Chain A
């Protein structure tokens, strides 16, 4: 909207009248560069970062071998005992880092899909991508009894193939949000049948393993899962963030975006492909964790109160959500450690009800 004009945004022909309390600041350098900063959004991002750091420290400290938060920080800075060093470096650190990256990947790809489909329910786990990854992983588990790495590979391939199939099926002189969502729902139904078929033909122990995988779990994640995830995220998250502004223009409709100089179809395909890859690698690392991609962008939007997809805040919110869910799953039920997916699923169901009620009042769904 304000591609060329810095602060304060003139009354663009936007739907909502610009609230008087809203301040958008612009930082300008001597070289003629300028950067728009929304104080509330920046503050929210800092807050989320603080939450992520704090919960990470608590998560690293909790378990069968408890470590006090101060000791955790000391160990991370290289001043811990050998035992603490071992537990932190080899057992708990990778799990927390995987949780952060998976949460960020889910949050940002949820924001992309919700923005492209222009619907707060158009998240990748509702419109078929999660099911694609599950089919890939279950094929490996049930038919080939593969190792954990094979299962991850199967999930990634399944997610990517499904993403390509949905895009091609929804293509008809361009991809429109409504068709993408409906085709995705149809594909999801077919894939669910395939998942059920694989579950019924499995031996009981394979079926149990498959159900655990389908729920989504962070148990026993180590550096081997972390590195490929980090590589993909390091490339794609900045790419998606860089396309945040064209994406925001796309929300105004293809014609308006085109008039403002956005290459509509190319931007959309790059964004969607990146989002699909992010969802697939996240599923490969931790299983198809539901509802993080659905809820993180909406929660982030309410926190920052900024218009547009809010990609960065969604990524931070996704990471924070998953960390809190993981802490809850491993500590809130006494001795019994639940997979993190159970917690996100239950929270997601409640969140969904709330979303349906409030968004329906506003007429946005």
Chain B
């Protein structure tokens, strides 16, 4: 997995003229990003239908004694922020891994139907098997995410794939799966009432139980993704070069799909399908760090929750006193970024 091949390490000083200086700049940038993330977390705890002043945030977090604001912080805002953090990390990393794996800047779990697969499986669980708790349907979500990610990758992403083919395969799969979800909602009015909020992608129903249940899966996915960043680096050079550099292609593919499945399945089970986070963040990160996955993944892990929590906070503010679900905000923000990306890139680069 972690290729410890001497040729590669000895080649690095030649490739990068001043690696130590560039790396320290990148590390500094990462610290700054963590700072921004902390700021957003505090903001996410403060902002909402009822504003909590900064001083009371501290009070609520560390000296909880059951006053009104303390309850809001403990029971509503903290779980919501933690879940946003976890889901953001999961979506950003899975997007970065998918883009590296398919060598395609438009690859994204939302766009490629992975989240839709998880949704369809969860809707099946809710409507046909009467599953009501996340501990039950997270497994269905994994199954749906795994089946669709493998199907779309095999059908649209392997040999001779173009971004158009991959995106179309994913979108068509999404259309079919949502058609199924719609049909289920139509036949089961009670399910419609529950599902219509869940299928949007929202953090509003977060609680500590959900957070506890998805944490192990997301942590496992993150570890897996970080472990394969070297072979992924090699694979971005093309299959032949990667093989020559000693990367095990099939093992990397399987592990990468496993990581994507764990991350997307858990994220979707926790808060419904959320699109475009996995597209936008790696794209922005690439502009900062360059193509090295060893920097892209940590940056994506820090900046994705910034974007997700930022969207969530924005959604709480714009339509007061009601809320705009975070999945809607990310789509409204991410769609134009995607269109810009398509218009800017030349076909040859895509």
Tell me the A residues contacting B by CB distance below 8 Å. Answer: 119, 121-122, 125-127, 169, 172, 176, 178-179, 181-183, 185-190, 192-194, 196-197, 199-201, 204, 207-208, 211-212, 214-215, 290-291, 294, 338-339, 341-342, 345-346, 348-349, 352, 356-357, 360, 363, 365
Task: Judge whether A200 and B335 touch: CB under 8 Å.
Answer: no
CB atoms of A365 and B200 under 8 A apart:
no
Q: Say yes or no for B275: interface residue by CB 8 A criterion.
A: yes
A345-B180, A349-B179, A365-B169 are contacts. A200–B196 as well, Cβ < 8 Å?
Answer: yes
A360 and B175 contact, Cβ closer than 8 Å, known pairs A169-B339, A185-B168, A190-B331: no
Most chain A beta-carbon neighbours within 10 Å: one of B110, B193, B196, B201:
B196
Give min CB distance, A227 to chain B, whole Å: 29
Q: Are A187 and B322 in contact (CB under 8 A)?
A: no
- Do residues A187 and B155 form an inter-chain contact, with CB atoms below 8 A? no
Q: Which of B49-57, B84-92, B157-165 contacts A (4 or more CB under 8 A)?
A: B157-165
Q: How many A-B residue pairs have CB under 8 A?
A: 144
Measured in the bound complex, the distance between the Cα atoms of B275 and A208 in whole Å is: 25
Contacts A119-B165, A179-B342, A200-B325 supplied; 17 other A-B pairs, CB < 8 Å: A169-B339, A169-B343, A183-B339, A183-B343, A185-B111, A185-B338, A186-B339, A187-B335, A188-B171, A199-B200, A204-B193, A211-B192, A339-B186, A345-B179, A346-B179, A349-B180, A360-B156
Among candidates A169, A188, A196, A212, residue contacting B325 with C-beta atoms closer than 8 Å: A196
**Closest Cβ of chain B: how far from A195's Cβ, in Å?**
10
Report yes or no: B106 in contact with A182, Cβ–Cβ below 8 A: yes
Residue of B185, B347, B350 with most partner-chain A CB within 10 A: B185
> A294: which B residues are within 8 A, CB to CB?
172
Taking CB atoms, residues of chain B closer than 8 Å to A348 are: 176, 179
- In the bound assembly, the distance between CA atoms of A339 and B187 in angstroms comes to 10
Known: A207-B192, A208-B192, A363-B160. A121 touches B338 (CB 8 A): no
A-B contact pairs, 16 of them (CB 8 A): A126-B172, A181-B168, A182-B342, A186-B336, A187-B339, A189-B334, A192-B331, A196-B201, A196-B328, A197-B328, A339-B186, A342-B186, A348-B176, A349-B177, A352-B172, A352-B176
- The answer to whether residues A181 and B167 also contact, given A189-B275, A189-B338, A200-B196 and a CB cut-off of 8 A, is yes
The answer, yes or no, to whether B109 is at the interface (CB within 8 Å) is no
Bound-state CA distance A365–B106 (Å) is 17
Tell me if B155 and A196 are in contact (CB < 8 A).
no
B182 part of interface (Cβ distance < 8 Å): yes
| Most chain B Cβ neighbours within 10 Å, of A197, A204, A212, A214 | A197
Chain A proximity mask over B187-216: 1 for CB below 8 Å, otherwise 0: 001001100110111000000000000000
Give Cα distance in the complex from A125 to B334, angstroms: 21
Of A181, A194, A196, A215, the contact of B164 (CB 8 Å cutoff): A181
Q: Decide yes or no whether B173 CB sits under 8 A from chain A.
A: yes
Across the interface, A356 reaches (CB within 8 A) one of B156, B177, B180, namely B156
**Is A193 in contact with B331, judged by CB distance below 8 angstroms?**
yes
CB distance from B167 to the nearest CB of A (A): 6
Chain A residues with CB under 8 A of B171 = 121, 126-127, 185, 188
Q: When the two chains form their complex, are residues A211 and B185 in contact, meaning their CB atoms are under 8 A apart?
A: yes
Contacts of B322 on A, CB cut-off 8 Å? 201
How long is the Cα–Cα vector from A320 to B176 in the complex, in angstroms?
21
Partner of A193, one of B155, B162, B179, B327: B327
Known: A125-B175, A187-B339, A290-B175. A215 touches B182 (CB 8 A): yes
Of the listed residues B156, B172, B197, B275, the one surrounded by the most CB atoms of chain A closer than 10 A to its CB is B172
Q: Is the interface of B mostly helix, strand, loop or mixed?
A: helix
CA distance A349 to B182 in the complex (A): 13
| A365 (CB) vs chain B CBs: closest residue | B165
Docked CA distance A54–B156 (Å): 39
- Cβ contact of A365, chosen from B168, B192, B193, cutoff 8 A: B168
A339–B183 alpha-carbon span in the complex (Å):
9
Whether the pair A182, B167 counts as a contact (CB closer than 8 A) is yes
> Is A207's CB under 8 angstroms from B196's CB?
yes
Chain B min CB distance to A181 (Å): 6
Instruction: Give the residues in chain B near A186, CB-CB below 8 Å.
Output: 335-336, 338-339, 342
Q: Evaluate whether A215 and B200 lie within 8 angstroms (CB atoms) in the complex, with A294-B172, A348-B176 already known.
A: no
**CA A189 – CA B109 in complex, angstroms?**
13
Answer yes or no: B41 CB below 8 A from chain A CBs: no
**Which chain A residues border B275 with CB–CB below 8 Å?**
189, 193
* B137 at interface, CB cutoff 8 A: no
- With a cutoff of 8 Å between Cβ atoms, the chain B residues found around residue A169 in the complex are 339, 343
Q: Which B residues, 300 to 350, have Cβ-Cβ distances below 8 Å to chain A?
A: 322, 324-325, 327-328, 331-332, 334-336, 338-339, 342-343, 347, 350
A132 to B: closest C-beta gap in Å: 13
Q: Indicate if B276 sits at the interface (CB-CB under 8 A).
A: yes
Name the B residues within 8 Å of A357 (CB-CB): 155
A residues in contact with B183, CB < 8 Å = 215, 338, 342, 345-346
